[in-house]
């Protein structure tokens, strides 16, 4: 990821506010708000982030795909076992910080082609994979991701897709060895 994109992506919920609905407040409020909006659409929702996935599972149900890395704010997250027990199908990939690896894009595509809800466990960092979901998630209507210390962002994928493409084209391709 180019250095000049870091701030934009850290505050994408502000820069792309017409496509992203932030939900802030206490966990209970966020959980009940998500439940009221997405309970009937579990198969059209992807969730990115350990705390967000845990909240979604606890208040709403099992989404189509959940992507976690076992950390929150770079500290180990103790709820990974609880999250993983909610899914009967799990895939793994590696994604270095500040990047979107080809391996994870292929893993997400594979997860989206299954008939079951899938947990994707990322070795590295999952943050930018919300952007990848917006690019390749043809059957996903909403991507929900964590906004550290604030709440969650709800991306309307159809409305955000052009922005996602524009952001993605600014990434530098690094050949894997």
Per-residue pLDDT reduced to its tens digit, 125-175: 898 898 889 888 888 999 999 988 889 999 999 888 777 767 776 666 565
d(CA 49, CA 2): 22
Residue 173 inside a domain? The answer is no
What is the average per-residue pLDDT within 70-83? 82
Residue 141 inside a domain? The answer is yes
How confident is residue 21, by pLDDT bands cut at 50, 70 and 90?
confident
pLDDT in tens, 83-112: 999 999 999 999 988 788 899 999 999 999
pLDDT at 12 over 80: no
What is the average per-residue pLDDT within 66-70? 94
Residue 176 inside a domain? The answer is no
Residue 78 inside a domain? The answer is yes
More confidently predicted of 149 and 33: 33
pLDDT at 50 over 90: yes
Number of domains the chain contains: 1
Mean pLDDT of the chain: 85
Note the pLDDT of residue 14. 47
- Domain span holding position 121: 3-168
Kind and range of the H or E run holding 72: strand 71-72
List 93's β-bridge partners, or say none: 122
What is the average per-residue pLDDT within 107-120? 94
More confidently predicted of 165 and 57: 57
How confident is residue 17, by pLDDT bands cut at 50, 70 and 90?
low
CB of 133 closer than 8 Å to CB of 140: yes
Task: Look up the pTM and report it.
Answer: 0.85
How confident is residue 20, by pLDDT bands cut at 50, 70 and 90?
confident
- Of 102, 166, 127, 105, the C-alpha closest to 47 is 127
pLDDT at 9 over 70: no
End-to-end CA distance of the chain: 18
């Amino acid at each position: 990821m180019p250095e000049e994109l870091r701030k934009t992506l850290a505050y994408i919920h502000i820069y792309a506010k017409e496509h992203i609905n932030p939900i802030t407040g206490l966990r209970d409020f966020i959980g009940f708000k998500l439940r009221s909006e997405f309970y009937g659409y579990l198969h059209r929702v992807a969730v990115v982030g350990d705390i967000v996935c845990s909240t979604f599972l606890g208040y709403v149900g099992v989404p189509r795909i959940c992507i976690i890395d076992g950390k929150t704010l770079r500290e180990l997250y103790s709820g990974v076992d609880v999250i993983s027990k909610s899914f009967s199908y799990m895939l793994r990939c590696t994604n270095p910080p500040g990047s979107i690896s080809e391996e994870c894009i292929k893993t997400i595509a594979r997860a989206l082609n299954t008939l079951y809800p899938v947990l994707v466990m990322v070795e590295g960092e999952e943050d930018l994979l919300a952007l990848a979901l917006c690019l390749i998630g043809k059957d996903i209507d909403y991507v929900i991701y964590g906004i550290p210390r604030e709440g969650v962002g709800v991306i309307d994928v159809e409305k955000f897709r052009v922005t996602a493409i524009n952001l993605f084209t600014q990434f530098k391709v690094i050949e894997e060895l």
